[in-house]
Chain A
C-alpha cells in the first residue's frame, strides 16, 4: 500500500515541478524566475525524500541535505546580485 501512495505523492510533486517550470519559462521578470527556481529546488528535495522512502534507503538524505544548502545559497546569491549589480550601485 505504502509504495503506491509514495508513487502517487511523487506524481503530485512532479506536477508541482511542472507548475514551477511554467513560471520559470513565462517570467515575466527575473525575480519571478528566481522564485520559480527556489520553489523548484524545494520540490526536488521532496522528490528525493520520496525516492528514499520508496527504496527504503537512507542514503538519499545526504543528497537532500546538499540540495537544501546549495539551493538556499544560490537563491541568496541571485537575489543579492540583482540588488547589488544592477540597482543599488
Chain B
C-alpha cells in the first residue's frame, strides 16, 4: 500500500502538470489565433482535456488518501464535458448572427452567410 501511494504521487503530479499545460495552451490559443471562430476551438477543446486531467489527478489523490472512491470530480468533469459543446454552440451562433469576420483564407466563406440564415441544403 505504501508503495502504491509513492507511485500514485508521480501519477498525480503528471496528471496535474499535463492538465495545467493543456489549459495554458488553450488560453494561449485564445490570444494568438487569428479570428473568432478559430479562437472558439482552443478553449472548448484544450480546456476540456486540461480540466479532465486535473480532475482525474485530484480524484486519484483523494481516493487513495481516503481509501474510498470519490465522485465529486466525476460530477464536475461530466458537467464540463456536457456543457462545453453547448456553450461553444451558443457563442458560435451569437458570433455568426453578428457577422464576425473570418480570416481571408477560410474555405467556403459563403457558407457562413447561409448558416446565419439557417438555410437547408440547396438543391
Residues of A within 8 A of B (CB): 1-2, 5-6, 8-10, 12-13, 15-17, 19-20, 22-23, 29, 31-32, 34-36, 38-39, 42-43, 45-46, 49-50, 52-53, 56, 58, 61, 64-65, 68-69, 72, 75-76, 79-80, 82-83, 86-88
Give the B interface residue count (CB, 8 A). 48
A36 nearest CB neighbor, chain B only = B30
Please list 25 pairs of residues, one from A and one from B, whose beta carbons are closer than 8 Å in the complex, sorted by A's number.
A5-B17, A9-B54, A12-B20, A13-B24, A15-B24, A20-B27, A29-B36, A31-B36, A35-B39, A38-B43, A39-B26, A39-B47, A45-B80, A46-B20, A46-B50, A46-B51, A53-B57, A68-B76, A75-B87, A76-B86, A79-B93, A83-B90, A86-B98, A87-B97, A88-B97
Contacts A15-B24, A31-B100, A35-B39; A83 near B93 (Cβ below 8 A): yes
A57 nearest CB neighbor, chain B only = B62
| Chain B positions 79 through 123: 1 when the CB is less than 8 Å from some CB of chain A, otherwise 0 | 110010011001101110110100000000000000000000000
A12 touches B30 (CB 8 A): no
Q: Does B75 contact A (CB under 8 A)?
A: yes
Least Cβ–Cβ distance between B33 and chain A, in angstroms: 10
Question: Which secondary structure dominates chain A's binding surface?
Answer: helix
